Amino acid sequence: MRHVADHHYIQRGEAPCTHAYWQEGQVLQIMNVNKIYPWYFSSGAIVLYLLFIVAPALLGIYYSFTDWNSYSSEKNFIGLEHFRTILAGDPTYLLFIKNTVLFTLITSIAKTVLGLFLALLLVSGVKAANLHRMIIFSPQVLSFLIVGLVFKSLLDPNNGFVNVTLRSLGLDVLAQNWLGSLTWAMPSIMAVDTWKGMGYIMVLFIAGLLAIPRDYYEAASIDGAGFWQKLFRITIPMLMPTITIATVLNITYGLRVFDAVYVLTNGGPGNATDVINTAVYSSFAKGYWGLGSALSTILFVIMAIISFFIIRLMNRKVEY
């Protein structure tokens, strides 16, 4: 039967199954003309993103306008009541927002400055640069649980390595309750977080520095430019895309910080080091799910506004 069918196509001057192949080719051609290919191949990822990222975020925003809690199955709409409590009612929540913004600002600047300094140092021809790069970057791959427990031991006010060393050098006045005092708890968390994260920013800057053509520096040297002139007229302007990425990463991480605070101080002493995410965790743990959702919504709005202005600022044209 197959032979007879093929003979029939040959007599008519057609190839077997040509119609099927033509249909498939036509479909692919239509997809190409209408630029459907990108959507076709990314549709699975888009669906997963909508299900597990966008949908929960929208539900969280909705719940922030309700009195949803673990003590009742009812979800009554209460409008902006939670937002009034957070922004104008209880000053404790304003402290959480202040701590979050302060932590983000200081750690972002510290990581960027130290990361750039280390990157410049390592690409300048220092000996064993690869070894130093590995050592500086290695804390980044560690869990903050491990890092936090190590530093809790190092910063212990009685038997910690830091205070024991200071006392042995006769510098008792400098020994502090680093994680238990109102003055030093937050700076200590910032220092530990900066130490852990600056290696990643350093690697970003190293990649950016290696991408800058050496011809620019050679031409500047011929013109008599010094180190600082090269830094501010060539290096930093050429690193603006990398600085933008590093700044956005630092800020989004800083605003979402949780593990550093939770492991080192658990928000203490009192609420002195609590940030928005530790307050969210506490609200959900106590069953105040609507209030926790409102805090998360405020955090999202802050992140969106800051990221928008940073990207706009960094995308301005620069002169080399």
150 contact partners, CB below 8 Å, separation of at least 6: none
What is the per-residue pLDDT for 75?
84
Residue 262 CB coordination number (10 Å): 19
Residue 312: band (very low, low, confident or very high) from pLDDT cuts 50, 70, 90: confident
Whole-number Cα distances in Å, 53 to 161, 285, 305: 43, 22, 19
The CA distance from 211 to 306, in Å, is 28
The single-letter DSSP state of residue 213 is -
What are φ and ψ of residue 142, in 5° steps? -85, 145
Residue 81: band (very low, low, confident or very high) from pLDDT cuts 50, 70, 90: very high
What is the per-residue pLDDT for 2?
46
Predicted TM-score of the model (pTM): 0.82
CA dihedral sign, ordered 281, 262, 308, 97: positive
- In this prediction, residues 23-47 reach a mean pLDDT of 68
Tell me the residue length of the chain. 320
What is the per-residue pLDDT for 4?
46
The CA distance from 80 to 294, in Å, is 9
Cis peptide before 269 (omega within 30 of 0): yes
What is the per-residue pLDDT for 34?
59
What is the per-residue pLDDT for 43?
83
Task: Please provide the average confidence, as pLDDT, over all residues in the chain.
Answer: 86
CATH 1.10.3720.10, the chain: domain bounds:
86-314
What is the per-residue pLDDT for 156?
95
The CA distance from 71 to 176, in Å, is 43
Q: What percent of the chain has pLDDT over 70?
A: 86
pLDDT tens per residue across span 186-238: 999 999 999 999 999 999 999 999 999 999 999 999 989 998 999 999 999 99
The single-letter DSSP state of residue 172 is G
The CA distance from 290 to 84, in Å, is 13
Whole-number Cα distances in Å, 143 to 80, 193, 196, 197: 38, 12, 10, 11
DSSP characters over 50-91? IIIIIHHHHHHHHHTTB--BTTBS---B-TTHHHHIIIII-H
pLDDT tens per residue across span 233-257: 999 999 998 998 999 899 999 999 9
Q: Which listed CATH number (3.40.30.10, 1.10.3720.10, 1.10.540.10, 3.40.50.300) goes with 86-314?
A: 1.10.3720.10
Cis peptide before 139 (omega within 30 of 0): no
